[in-house]
Chain A
């Protein structure tokens, strides 16, 4: 094990003395930022898409919107996230003449991508709410969108919270590919330490542990949220 001690020492040397910790902190910040902002964008997009897709379709506008949303979901679920990152960074944005950093592209793409997944989760959640809730809202004279926002979606969110937690965890882990477009996340930070010490065993081990800790914290947070949302339920 003497060998391993040596490796740990090398890691600590880079980590502490050669500003490795600053890189790690920056990477951690970026990873969390991409995942959190991505999730927020995703929730907004996903909710809108889900609400559009459950509108009764006998008018033209909902039909057109529904078609567009299906296309969007199909597109983003049908391609790997790495491909989406690359296409956005090297094809779409240059063609549109927009110059933004890799980090911003990562946030955008993760938002759009998780929007597609969350829309399906949300749709399931909305469909799981008894149709009578919508009927009751309409019957007292509230409009479709008012009822949706005040009655149906709050109940749907409660139902899908565990699945949503899954999505967030997946998002955190998937962010490890953003180095493809030059965003500095956790992987980049530890890769830097590894390449400087020619020793990858310890850095990657530490990286794995950090990811696990992140996910454990998120799971705990979701559990707390669930408990507070279960107020109106009998299952406590």
Chain B
């Protein structure tokens, strides 16, 4: 689904990613581990061009999204992202956080269709009866988009058991609740893949569980996920592919049993001996 070819990223003179190539298939749960400063977060952020790659390509839906010319917003809607520090919109309530993007995107499409239709109508006046252009069918209204988005958002909130928090501001939620809302916000766009950037690193230990449980449930449903994490237990249990990145390169990758049970790369061995 995502084809990363020789991905490179430079910050000034520092080469952070040194040619990373990996294929991500639909339904993959890929965990990325590595020491801090290894480039694993940068790798993840390059996948949806939060950081613009300085070399290589990322093929998603047959388009190279590392190219600055593609409409990156369109692709990002299909790639959810969950951040270490949640990054919920502070000026929006929980439900608004979830509804904002779906409503905005659909209303924009609606507006575009309407504009196109009125242009077609205008030009149709000058066309002969047999070659009048057809209008784009408009099946929905702004109110309906909002209603549907609200219902979808509420069902998502129900799923994480936070429906009574729909109208509060994020500042009143606990870390675990914030992160679950952030995951749900990504889900609201019906993405094909979700990128997790250390989703549990900023949480109190007792809240890590609830977030990991939600992620496990998503994994079971067949969501494609790429997860940068320090939760080795989670990686071992849920992932079907684990990557070890250090100094901007993939040093080892494989299925979790092999990866954790029989690591070959000396750096990985050293890393695992420290963290396990």
Interface residues of A (CB under 8 A from B): 130, 132-133, 135-143, 146, 150-151, 154-155, 158, 231-234
CB distance from B211 to the nearest CB of A (A): 17
Q: How far is the CA of A16 from the CA of B92 in the complex (A)?
A: 53
Point out the residue from B93, B100, B172 that lies within 8 Å of A140, measured CB to CB. Answer: B100
B80 & A133 in contact (Cβ 8 Å cutoff): no
B50 & A137 in contact (Cβ 8 Å cutoff): no
Given contacts A135-B50, A150-B100, A232-B169, contact A141 B91 (CB under 8 A): no
A140 & B88 in contact (Cβ 8 Å cutoff): no
Given contacts A137-B89, A140-B80, A141-B73, contact A232 B171 (CB under 8 A): yes
Point out the residue from B76, B100, B105 that lies within 8 Å of A139, measured CB to CB. Answer: B76
Q: How far is the CA of A130 from the CA of B88 in the complex (A)?
A: 11
Most chain-B CB neighbours within 10 Å: which of A130, A142, A143, A154?
A142
A140 & B186 in contact (Cβ 8 Å cutoff): yes
Most chain-B CB neighbours within 10 Å: which of A139, A151, A155, A158?
A139
Give the contacts of B69-85 with A (CB-CB under 8 A).
73-74, 76-77, 80-81, 83, 85
A141 & B87 in contact (Cβ 8 Å cutoff): no
Q: How far is the CA of A143 from the CA of B77 in the complex (A)?
A: 11
B90 & A232 in contact (Cβ 8 Å cutoff): yes
Give 11 A-B pairs besides A140-B100, A142-B105, A232-B169 with Cβ atoms closer than 8 angstroms. Answer: A133-B89, A133-B90, A136-B87, A136-B88, A136-B89, A138-B76, A140-B76, A142-B100, A155-B90, A155-B91, A158-B91
Closest to B73 in A: A141
Give the chain A neighbours of B169 by CB distance below 8 A.
231-233
Given contacts A140-B186, A142-B101, contact A234 B87 (CB under 8 A): no
A132 & B85 in contact (Cβ 8 Å cutoff): yes
Most chain-A CB neighbours within 10 Å: which of B76, B89, B101?
B89
Closest to A136 in B: B87
Closest to B82 in A: A139
Q: How far is the CA of A133 from the CA of B182 in the complex (A)?
A: 12
A132 & B87 in contact (Cβ 8 Å cutoff): yes
A234 & B100 in contact (Cβ 8 Å cutoff): no
Closest to A59 in B: B68
Q: How far is the CA of A80 from the CA of B87 in the complex (A)?
A: 42
B104 & A233 in contact (Cβ 8 Å cutoff): no
Q: B177 an interface residue at 8 Å Cβ cutoff?
A: no
Given contacts A133-B90, A154-B91, contact A141 B76 (CB under 8 A): yes
CB distance from B161 to the nearest CB of A (A): 22
CB distance from A151 to the nearest CB of B (A): 5
Point out the residue from A133, A146, A234 that lies within 8 Å of B104, measured CB to CB. Answer: A146
Point out the residue from B81, B85, B171, B185 that lies within 8 Å of A233, measured CB to CB. Answer: B171
9 A-B pairs with the lowest CB-CB distances in the bound complex, closest first = A141-B77, A136-B87, A132-B87, A139-B81, A140-B101, A232-B169, A141-B76, A154-B91, A141-B73
Closest to B170 in A: A232
**A-B contact list, 26 entries, CB within 8 Å:** A130-B85, A130-B87, A132-B87, A133-B90, A135-B87, A136-B81, A136-B83, A136-B88, A138-B76, A139-B81, A140-B80, A140-B100, A140-B101, A140-B185, A141-B76, A141-B189, A142-B73, A142-B104, A151-B91, A155-B90, A158-B91, A232-B91, A232-B92, A233-B171, A234-B171, A234-B172
Point out the residue from A137, A140, A151, A232 that lies within 8 Å of B189, measured CB to CB. Answer: A140
B185 & A133 in contact (Cβ 8 Å cutoff): no
Give the chain A neighbours of B93 by CB distance below 8 A.
232
Q: How far is the CA of A111 from the CA of B104 in the complex (A)?
A: 33
Give the chain B neighbours of A132 by CB distance below 8 A.
83, 85, 87
CB distance from A137 to the nearest CB of B (A): 7
B89 & A151 in contact (Cβ 8 Å cutoff): yes
CB distance from A58 to the nearest CB of B (A): 8
B105 & A141 in contact (Cβ 8 Å cutoff): yes
CB distance from B8 to the nearest CB of A (A): 16
Give the contacts of B81-119 with A (CB-CB under 8 A).
81, 83, 85, 87-93, 100-101, 104-105
Q: B48 an interface residue at 8 Å Cβ cutoff?
A: yes
